[in-house]
Structure 1
Amino acid sequence: MGKQALDIFRESLPILQVLSDPNRQDILLFLSENGKMTVNEITERLTLSRPAVSHHLKLLKNAGVIKVEQLGTQRYYYLSMQESVDLLKRLLVALERDCL
Structure 2
Amino acid sequence: MGKQAMETFRSCIPLFQAMMDPARQDIILLLAEKEPLTVNEIAEHSPLSRPAVSHHLKILRDNRLVHTEHKGTQRVYSLALHDAVHRMKELIAVVEATCDLGEPGNGKS
TM range (shorter): over 0.9
Q: Secondary structure at the match of 1:24?
A: helix
What is the CA distance between 1:44 and its match in structure 2? 0.6
Distance 2:87 2:53 in 1: 26
Q: Show CA shifts across 1:14-51 (max 9, x none).
A: 11110001110000011011111000000011111111
Runs of 4+ in 1 over 2 A off after TM superposition: none
1:78 aligns with 2:78: yes
Q: Superposition RMSD on alpha carbons, in Å?
A: 0.7
> TM-score, structure 1 length as denominator?
0.97
Q: Show CA shifts across 1:58-95 (max 9, x none).
A: 00000011010001011000001101100100101111
- Structure 2, unaligned runs of 5 or more: 102-109
1:40 aligns with 2:32: no
Distance 2:49 2:42 in 1: 10
Higher relative contact order (CA 8 A, sep 6+): 1
Question: Percent identical across equivalent pairs?
Answer: 49
Q: Which has the larger radius of gyration?
A: 2
Q: What residue in structure 2 maps to residue 57 of structure 1? A: 57
Distance 1:48 1:94 in 2: 38
> TM-score, structure 2 length as denominator?
0.89
**Equivalent residue letter for 2:2:** G
1:94 aligns with 2:94: yes
